Structure formats: C-alpha cells, structure tokens
Amino acid sequence: MNKNGILASESFSRGRRHYFLDFKLAGNNSNYVQFTRSEQQGNGSYKRWSFVIFENQFEDFISAFASLFRSAAYQGKGFVTVKQLHEEFKGEGCIKAMPPELRPREKMATSGRSEMENSELLAMLIGSGSPNESALKLAERILNGAGGSLKNLSVMSVAELCQFKGMGIAKSSTVMAAMELALRLSAATPVRYKTVYLYKKPGRPSGFFDLGN
C-alpha cells in the first residue's frame, strides 16, 4: 500500500485520456473504489474527474452493472429499462402470473390436497422461486433430478438439494424436514384401542355398572 492508501490499481489510456481504477483504504479502515479520468488540455495541463464507490455500495453497484449488461443484450428490442426487464422476468417466472386455479395454494384450497401433484406440494414447501423461475418449475426440476421418485427425494441431503440452482440451506432444510416427518409417519406403529363395554349386573342397585370386555 502506498502513502495514498492505494491497495491495488489499474490504468489505461486512449489518446489524451487516461483512466485510473484504484482500490483504496479509507481512514476508518473501510475500502472504497475510486474511478479517475485525466484528460490533457490544449495548453498541456490535465483536467481530472473522479467518483468514488464506498464499500457499503459495492453490492448495489455490481448489481446495477449486471442489470445494465442484461439490458444491453436486449438492444434488438429497442430501448428497454432495467425495471421493464425485471417485470418481464417476474411475469414469466412468478406463480402469481399463473391463472388462480393453477396456483398450488389456491388449488389445494378448492380441490383438496389429494388432487395436488407432487411438484405442486413440493413447490409449497419451497415457497418461492427466483425472477427467472417459479417455485413450481424449481420443484419440477428437483423431482426430475430425483428420477421422479419421492423415495429418492426423501434421502437427499442438504448439500445435494443445494446443488439445484435456487435452493439454499433454508429451503433445502424445509424440504428435508417434511420428508423426515413423512418417513416417521410411515414407520409409526398404529395405536390399537381396547373396546370397553359398560353393563349392569342383575341385582345391583341402579347407577352401579361393571367394566367388562
């Protein structure tokens, strides 16, 4: 690190314009990125422009760049804003965009759980998908990965479930918990209740009863 607090630096030039990208250490020990453009003037002097991105803004800045590049890929469609792209992906991949009668929760409420497909039940456990994929599509992909077998799904580990894009530890743990409850239910021994009859013996006063089988 030099005396200016620069931890790393890159630069390039185009004619009279020079660009510098510096990763720096601030006085409070936080990091920031400084972009600088330096341009030579007609009299030989240089004019400089700079802007800074602080550490707590890194994630937003990177996300903005990713959205911008995605928007650039749609140049053939004319001008498209990042917000329009988000709404488009959301409309394609969101369960809310489906007809009400096809949404898993609404279908269960109107038709009952016995009418639900395995993928629909699994989607309800997963809860939410991503901007590019609904929870239902994710559930179908996971079931396909399990060979369409609930038995195979029931023995998957968190690590195996997390290998499916869109599945994190929280969603995977929820699915595993449901599978474990199903396994315990299937292995439980049914409780048998003994039938007890009440009868009145001859000669006993009214109100007295014996318990018998």
β partners of residue 197: 212
134-150 confidence digits (pLDDT tens): 888 899 999 999 999 98
The residue-averaged pLDDT of 81-109 equals 64
Residue 6 pLDDT level (bands cut at 50, 70, 90) = confident
pLDDT, the chain, mean: 79
pLDDT of 178 above 60: yes
Higher-pLDDT residue of 78 and 23 is 23
| Domains of the chain, CATH where assigned | 6-60 (3.10.450.700), 95-187 (1.10.150)
Q: What tens digit of pLDDT does each residue of 50-93 get? A: 989 888 888 888 877 777 776 666 555 555 565 555 555 454 45
| DSSP SS3 for 42 | coil
Q: DSSP per residue over 91-146, as a string?
A: HHH-GGGS-GGGSHHHHHHHH-GGG--HHHHHHHHH---BTTB-HHHHHHHHHHHT
pLDDT greater than 70 at residue 15: yes
Contact 52, 33 (CB under 8 A): yes
Nearest to 143 by CA among 130, 154, 131, 127: 154
Diameter over CA atoms, the chain: 129
Beta bridge partners of 211: 198
Tell me what pLDDT residue 77 has. 54
Mean pLDDT of 148-164: 90
- At 203, the pLDDT band (50, 70, 90 cuts) reads low
Q: Report the pLDDT value the prediction gives residue 211, as an integer from 0 to 100.
A: 52
Mean pLDDT (whole number) for 187-200:
64
Mean of the pLDDT values across residues 120-140?
87
Specify the residue for token string 């096809």: 102
DSSP symbols for 49-86:
EEEEEEGGGHHHHHHHHHHHHHHHTTGGG----HHHHH
